[in-house]
Amino acid sequence: MNVKRFDLSYYENATSQFHITKITSPKEALKLHSHSYFQVYCITGGTVLHHLEGKTAKLTKGDVFILPPNREHRIETPAGEVNFTSMSFMPEYFQGTQEGNKLILDFLSYLQADPAKDLEPRITLSYEDAVFTEILLDRILEEFGKDQREKNELIRECVSVLLSLFAREYFREHDDAFVLRENRELVMQSIEYIKNHFEEEMTLTEIVRRSAMSKTVFCTLFRSIVGLSFKEYLNRVRIEKAAEWIAAGEKIAAVSGRCGYGDFSTFYRNFKRYMGLSPSEFRKKNHPR
């Protein structure tokens, strides 16, 4: 089956990073599809059945459904009449201006952490939070339709408030997500340790022991932060440093051992994989003398 994939360019009035619209008669969303952006459904009337990889969530007024990129899904509207706001933004939407908003970054990282995860993105808001959400969504929609200076900054701030609200409720409802958020700082320390000790012999078991958390939690959160497994990240750090040393004129055999590889064939294979050239080819290109 061909599953249609959407980019933000599908929406005529979308910016490069954001789109929002009210929906009463969904069409494309009824078919199995995926998209390159985060999508938030905020239900204000009727019923939506959201099907995600074999699971179905029933959404009614006051429910929010947040879906990360690249997940195949579809919806149904069994009663016909439905009202919801669909808000879409790219994964990098909060980079730069929101570096300090750890709650949002943790939330989005968790939702993207593991494609195989049994994801439960539905959030049921309290009456007060649901009312506040509708008011804020209406303001975002109003600003989005304007041709006015600084509107994008105002929209981003409003979206940030909403996501902070959703994240707080999500972490409260999901114990596993809360555990991952609490351990994020420990994983960040592990990443710094890898950067500073990549020349030494290093194993996942050792790094997990240093973090004082379970292997499953560590590996899930590690991938959510760097986008790679421990082994992939360690190899990338080592090869990037090896490339720097080779370009500076150091001997390839010496570099292999210096960056933590006890076996030259493993070093050679990983170097070609990450750099696209063999060590000798890279040396000729970057240090011809």
Q: pLDDT of 144-183, one tens digit each?
A: 988 777 788 889 999 999 998 998 888 777 655 555 556 7
Please check whether residue 73 is in contact with residue 34, taking contact to mean a CB–CB distance below 8 angstroms.
yes
pLDDT at 39: 93
Length of the chain: 289
Angle of CA points 118, 124, 127, to nearest 5°: 175
Average pLDDT, the chain: 84
Tokens of 7: 């980019």
DSSP 93: G
Q: Which residue has the higher pLDDT, 2 or 126?
A: 126
Q: Which domains does the chain have, with CATH numbers?
A: 4-174 (2.60.120.280), 183-289 (1.10.10.60)
Helix, strand and coil percent figures for the chain, each rounded to 5: 50, 20, 30
State pLDDT tens for residues 174-232: 655 555 556 777 888 888 899 999 998 889 999 988 887 778 778 877 887 787 889 99
> Helix H segments across 92-214?
102-112, 127-144, 151-173, 175-182, 184-197, 204-211
